[in-house]
Structure 1
Amino acid sequence: MGYSQWVQNHAIKHKNIITKLVARGMDKKEIIDYFDFENMKEKEKDFCPLYAKNQKCHDMESLNCYLCSCPNFRFNDEGIKKVEDKTQCSTCNIDSKDGRQGVYGDKIHQDCSGCSVPHHRAYVEKHFDLDWAKIMKVCQI
C-alpha cells in the first residue's frame, strides 16, 4: 500500500471516531484526551495495529494518537526526486534532527521512528482540526 492509500484509509477511520465523539458533545480538549494512547488501545482497537501488541510507535510516556502521521511528512508515491540510482519517496519538511532517511531497495523513505513531534499534546493542540485529512493535505506533493 502506498502513502496516498494509507492516508485515505486512515482519514476514514479518524473521521468515524471524530463523528462519534462530536455526537457525544465532546469539545476539543476532550477529543484530544480521548486520543491518548492508553485510551485508544482500549476503546479503538482497530485504529492502529500496534494497539493489539500494547506497543507504542514512539518511546514516550504520554503519546497522543490524534496526529497518527505528521503534518511535516512529505511524500509522493511516484517519487520526489532521484538520488543517484534511487527514488526518494518521502522526506521531513522541517528536517527533524530525530528523523533520518532509510534506503529500502531502490527507494528512499523518511524514517520518523526517532521523532515524536506530532504525538505531543501541545503540538496536537496547535494543529488541531476535526478533519484530520485537512491537516494532512499538505503532505502529498
Structure 2
Amino acid sequence: MMSYEEWFWQHKEKHKKIVDKLVTKGYNEDKIIEYFDFENMLQEEKEFCPLYKDNKKCHDIKKLNCFLCACPHFRFSDKGIEKKESKTLYSFCAIDAKNSKEITYENSIHQDCSDCKIPHSKTFVKKCFDLEWKNIMRECRV
C-alpha cells in the first residue's frame, strides 16, 4: 500500500505535468480549472486517477473538479501525529469539516473525507488556485 508521503510526491508530479502542458498551450487560470472537470479528465488524462479506468468518481458530486484531488485542509504524517489511547493518528482535517470523520483500522486512525466535497468545487479551486499544486498543499505534511 502506498504511503501518504509517496502519494503526495507522485501526485505532485502528475499534476505538474498536466499543468505545464496546459500553460504551454496558453491556457489561463479559468481554462486550466475547466480542463480538470471530471468528465474532461476522464477522456484526456486517464492515468491521472485510478478511478478513471472504472468511470468512477471519488465523491458523488454532479460537477466534480479534479484540480486539487486532495484537500489543502488534510493533514498527514506517515510517522504518526499523536497517540489516541492505544491507536496512532496518521491524518486529520485541519478545519474539522462537518462531513469529515475518522476511520479506525486496527491500531491506526485516519481521516475519512469521502463525504466531504470542499476541494472539488470550481469556486474553492479558484479561491486557492496556484499553478504549483504543492504550494496549495504546503501545510498538509506535518
Equivalent position SS for 2:114: coil
CA distance in 1, matches of 2:140, 2:83: 19
Equivalent position SS for 1:137: coil
1:35 aligns with 2:36: yes
Residue equivalent to 1:131: 132
Equivalent position SS for 2:119: helix
Q: Name the aligned partner's letter for residue 127 of structure 1.
A: C
Superposition map of 1:105-116 within 5 A? 105-116=106-117
Superposition map of 1:53-132 within 5 A? 53-132=54-133
Q: Gapped runs of 5+ residues in structure 2?
A: none
Residue equivalent to 2:18: 17
Equivalent position SS for 2:69: coil
Q: How far is 1:137 from its partner?
A: 1.2
Q: How far is 1:9 from its partner?
A: 0.2
Residue equivalent to 2:52: 51
Q: Name the aligned partner's letter for residue 25 of structure 1.
A: G
Runs of 4+ in 1 over 6 A off after TM superposition: none
CA distance in 1, matches of 2:106, 2:44: 37
Q: How far is 1:61 from its partner?
A: 0.3
Aligned residues: percent identity? 52
Q: How far is 1:2 from its partner?
A: 1.0
Q: Name the aligned partner's letter for residue 56 of structure 1.
A: K
CA distance in 2, matches of 1:139, 1:103: 20
Equivalent position SS for 2:99: coil
Residue equivalent to 1:140: 141
Q: Please report the RMSD computed on the Cα atoms of aligned residues, expressed in angstroms.
A: 0.5
- Give me the TM-score of the superposition, normalised by structure 1: 0.99
